[in-house]
């Protein structure tokens, strides 16, 4: 064993020298950033003319083994457009991924959107909400913008809104069949006999939901199922 020890030491030393002198190449950060930006511009398509892209975060230059370098840009997923976008780029050598780097961009995108023509109170029916078109930064929107006023038929404002704010779906809620404190028709069935009277809904309800209703002349509410717009049926 002692006879072979010097040869083993020489072999280990030679291997270490080969590993330390492995040929490397540098992939500039600008190259990765350019690939990410071109992919993002392609994602914007026709919207690119109204977009402003600013690089806000770049990777360092990448050390990679010698060989043919190619870049593979990952698709941009998630909400689109958005004000901050990260684009992942695979750095490949001889078709093998050796590093994945992310380039960050700030994005603003100006295009027409529907905005409120005036301040509006919560509960305003959508048919009474006046919308006008105005250029705005749609990348900064928190929610889905309304494309057509008709999309909100049967809805009302969930909250108060201010003039020139972009109209988004989250501002609206569907008008229920029965609203809280609404006067409703009440149907009570006993055997084969149906009685009709009036009452006041204690809470809002959609079709099929059971809600408390104070029948005219009664001291306490009864439970009733919503059966139609402004109509309920007493639950026994």
Same-domain pairing of 75 and 95: yes
Same-domain pairing of 104 and 121: no
Q: For position 190, what pLDDT does the model report? A: 83
pTM for the model: 0.66
Same-domain pairing of 27 and 103: yes
Looking at 144, 174, 204, the residue that finishes a domain is 174
- Domain membership of residue 81 as a residue range: 23-109
- Res. 3 pLDDT band, cuts 50 70 90: low
State yes or no: pLDDT of 8 exceeds 50.
no
Same-domain pairing of 168 and 127: yes
The two tokens of residue 120 are 């509006």
- Residue at 2 is within a domain: no
Number of domains the chain is built from: 3
Q: For position 206, what pLDDT does the model report? A: 87
The two tokens of residue 43 are 């994602």
Cα–Cα distance measured from residue 227 to residue 187, given in angstroms and rounded to the nearest whole number: 10
- Residue at 89 is within a domain: yes
How far, in whole angstroms, is CA 34 from its chain's centroid? 27
Lowest mean pLDDT among 20-24, 27-31, 170-174: 20-24
Over the chain, what is the mean pLDDT? 89
Residue with tokens 């409120």: 116
- Residue at 69 is within a domain: yes
CATH code of the domain containing 159? 3.90.1210.10
Same-domain pairing of 126 and 170: yes
Average pLDDT over residues 57-77: 94
Average pLDDT over residues 75-85: 93
Q: For position 236, what pLDDT does the model report? A: 77
Q: 167 or 14: which carries more pLDDT confidence?
A: 167
| CA geometry: angle 211, 200, 223, nearest 5 deg | 30
Average pLDDT over residues 48-75: 94
Average pLDDT over residues 75-80: 91
- Res. 171 pLDDT band, cuts 50 70 90: very high
CA distances from 1 to 8, 10, 118, 200 (A): 10, 15, 93, 100
């Amino acid at each position: 064993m002692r006879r072979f020890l010097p040869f083993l030491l020489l072999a280990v030393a030679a291997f270490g020298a080969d590993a330390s002198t492995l040929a490397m190449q540098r992939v500039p950060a600008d190259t990765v950033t350019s690939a990410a930006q071109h992919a993002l511009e392609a994602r914007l398509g026709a919207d690119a003319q109204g977009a402003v892209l600013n690089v806000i975060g770049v990777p360092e230059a990448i050390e990679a083994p010698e060989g043919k370098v190619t870049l593979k840009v990952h698709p941009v997923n998630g909400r689109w457009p958005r004000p901050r976008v990260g684009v992942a780029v695979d750095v490949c050598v001889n078709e093998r991924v050796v590093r994945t780097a992310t380039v960050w961009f700030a994005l603003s995108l100006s295009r027409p959107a529907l905005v409120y023509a005036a301040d509006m109170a919560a509960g305003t029916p959508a048919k009474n909400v006046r919308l006008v078109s105005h250029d705005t930064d749609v990348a900064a929107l928190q929610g889905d913008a309304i494309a057509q006023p008709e999309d909100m038929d049967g809805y009302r404002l969930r909250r108060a809104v201010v003039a020139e704010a972009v109209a988004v779906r989250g501002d609206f809620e569907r008008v229920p069949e029965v609203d809280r404190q609404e006067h409703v028709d009440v149907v009570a069935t006993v055997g084969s006999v149906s009685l009709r009277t009036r009452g006041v809904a204690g809470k809002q309800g959609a079709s099929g939901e059971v809600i408390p209703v104070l029948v005219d002349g009664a001291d306490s509410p009864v439970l009733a199922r919503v059966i139609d717009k402004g109509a309920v049926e007493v639950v026994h």
